[in-house]
Structure 1
């Protein structure tokens, strides 16, 4: 039930080189194995059920959380309390007691990443088959005895860990959610890419519209309340406090704002783009203002870094496009801190067999930037994570 890297590569406009760090490439050509009895048990379990596929709710985030447990009982107070904890991280949680119904649902997920909580009994039976789900990002095994289940979970690459309480699962989910949002950006490798052109034209049109904060914020808030996967406390925060903070602060804050905007641009979701058009416009203008203010203090040439995961398909396309143009269609967060980008974002992405850990090394020439329409700004003083990440934020279509 739905409970709500390594030759320089020229980039577009102002990025004069890009290095993909191949040392981070972690691949496996052998599918994870499981014992014959586990596979047989899973097959038997799935043959017992003949259920219709459950409809997929409209998803505004970059991921979906699924919980598979044969003993789920949503009428029990203990279970309600567990769901309440999880909803502080993920508003929409889809629960299943039947493995076949769950697999049918998972196979319908094509664009979002899947985070999955499994009980030890069902988890052990279906874990090997879960590896066939390309969108599966992480599995969290929920049990009463860690030592008893750690051994078999080591054979399953996507298992994030074995947990005995929901709070530690929530902490792991917070980290994985940030990784997921960072990886889910739109990259164009061809100046004639339709998505690049359409979003660029849309951006230019949106920049010409005048704001009416009161109307625009209300429209966004009302729209978000109609969705299933946006936490109500975050919606209320935007409703009450939007004018108290800058657009850069909201974009970098731990709310739905940044991920939802980038999802809209990545998916060319017109509903999201129109509802967030005022924020996109204000964020672009804020970056441009900061860019002008910081011009005298920025070195003529400098490096920034971005660590993230990329799908195998995107990674292969980048390799084929060596010396070609490359554009990030979203607002792009980078850092001057090499270690932060490498250790906190690129390396962790290698744990997933379906992705490649990438460290983008971007050489910025401000003389080239001055001739382009792309602005960037140092936002560590005005962003949510003040003084922590040495963050340089680029506007869209960099």
Structure 2
């Protein structure tokens, strides 16, 4: 039995020091046919972990072994050299694997066996998707130790073309789960390995730089991501020339980073260059051109340039339908994007059928059980919530949360997003007791997954603070608002729209407390920042003018208040229309001010007008 064999081995090792071989194992090895020895040598190249038989079979196929795998596998089991864990999984004991590794190195075709194992691992790595659901994770997990083995101990047997794949597969496996810290060393090793093997001037270096930058961007480490994106762009331009689709991809990635940082003026020309390059190289009728339309439209949407964004979203949708057909996931994405624009403008009746189409199409293409279905459910729920249709929104938010927890696991950033959305819904309904634990769970999960220093942590702190403010728990709200503000300044820089949002929120708290002298400079800073970053005609500028006007009204500075309300209304109407909730709030505040002025009672009231805060 295996236990007896191992016992003999331990006795032998305790009696004398030798090269690590053992008489009993030597006898068993010598008794094997050459085909069984080759089989043992092949298996010894896998990690000291359970070996899926499908992976072994793929390695044997790549090696072109000309014997019966099952027969020789069973011989190793009968000789107690190999453990059978179940019908499809086998494993070596550590000492036996060590012995067989030594013997395997003496085989004439060991180089061929190593290359076969590497080929099998590369095939697995290439199939790892960017977005993983639980079934993917379960299917891929048994192969992970073997990817690590190749990346760590057998990378010299990877050909140049396949060199990145074991590292990239491992990085994707963790990145796709939101496990950024576990993904990081594999992206870093990928970069260092290709540099060492292929030199600095290679396209794989550019790809590795780009991948590492993408991870840093996901972590909110924007200052570390930027030089990597710039290096990748420069390398692609020097190796491929200025006129190449991969250069357009690098321009697009760098633009996306600047957009995340609120550096809209720097992002726009890069998005435009990427679009122009794709049109010139790929022609007008290409999916990548549609993607560039979407990206540029998304930038305009962030800037409140809705009238410029809409035709781009419409072109992207039309192009996707024509090129890919009505039944394609990219069509669902375009429908979702256009609906998001209409929702931002308060065009809810136009947004709803688009989201319904996107949801139906996504469910039809991917099935009911897919993370992308949860994304569309969230957007539809948010639309209902914006309209005050809370009874319709809640089951959709709950469905999205349940879907994410089951498909992605409890420890995933998308779960934190769903918790935040559901909590916001409950807060809007005054269901504070239900909202608070959800906000707290979302904050804890975000901190655990991303660390304390991430913009998403600041957003979660802000959400919890706003809940406390709505409950009149001002002393608990203030330190959270302050922490969120400092975090955003540190991570995003002083010149970022999210910093303006935090300034506005903190000012709103002081306004609610009647601490006007503290609120005013913060409202003014938020207004100045929004004008500078977003332009004079952005809806957020209108919101800031409204809030500052409300403060002046409470202080009896009515002429100033009236002027600001009128400016806010003029700005809001153009991008949002007269029926948008923001426009109506500003209009109501202005009318309230005018009516109270006319009846001569304004000076006698301390009533506060509606403050506008981001949802």
More strand by share: 1
Q: Report the TM-score, using the length of structure 2 for normalisation.
A: 0.20
More helix by share: 2
Question: Greater relative contact order: 1 or 2 (C-alpha under 8 angstroms, separation 6 or more)?
Answer: 1
TM-score normalised by length of structure 1:
0.28
